[in-house]
Amino acid sequence: MTAPANFVEGLLFPGYGPEDANPDLGDSAITETMGIGGFAMGASPAITQFVGGTVSDAINYTRSMYSITTAENNNYSLPPLDFKGTATGIDILKVLETGIIPVINTGIAHKVPGIGQIGAGIVHPPRECFVKALEAFGERYGDGNKGE
């Protein structure tokens, strides 16, 4: 599902400003779906020095992801959370019911191709992607009684 990308909120390298930034792009969003990246930020609170925020922010981001997922990935245990596995398996309904949108740790790319990364930060995918996913799920599976 697609929608216009959001801009990353974070820290820019010296010499760059918000006007230089591109909306979020790349593969960082994929890593979150398996329980790493932003979902595991509580295990590496020092990352906040790179993406912005506080240690409490990092732990709170990680804790909030359990509210919108279906399982824990025990391959990635989090010592600051008593070795709990990272949240994994994003649930469309939980995202839409809670209003908690997955968190993504990502780089900030320059809007001019070829310049590359100019910072790093936190972004959330567009809510519209989850709305479209639920609609597509409903179209495909309906009420679960198709074919009976």
State the residue for tokens 């074919």.
Answer: 147
pTM of the model: 0.87
Task: Name every residue whose Cβ is closer than 8 Å to that of residue 43 and which is 6 or more positions away in sequence.
Answer: 62, 76, 78, 79, 80, 81, 86
From the candidate CATH numbers 3.40.50.2300, 3.30.9.10, 3.30.200.20, 3.90.1700.10, the one assigned to the domain spanning 9-13+25-141: 3.90.1700.10
- What is the reported pLDDT for 28? 80
Which residues in 8-21 are b (16+ Cβ under 10 Å) and which e? bebbbeeebeeebb
Least Cα distance to 133 among 97, 92, 101, 88 occurs for: 92
pLDDT digits (tens, 9 = 90+) for 104-131: 999 999 999 999 999 999 999 999 999 9
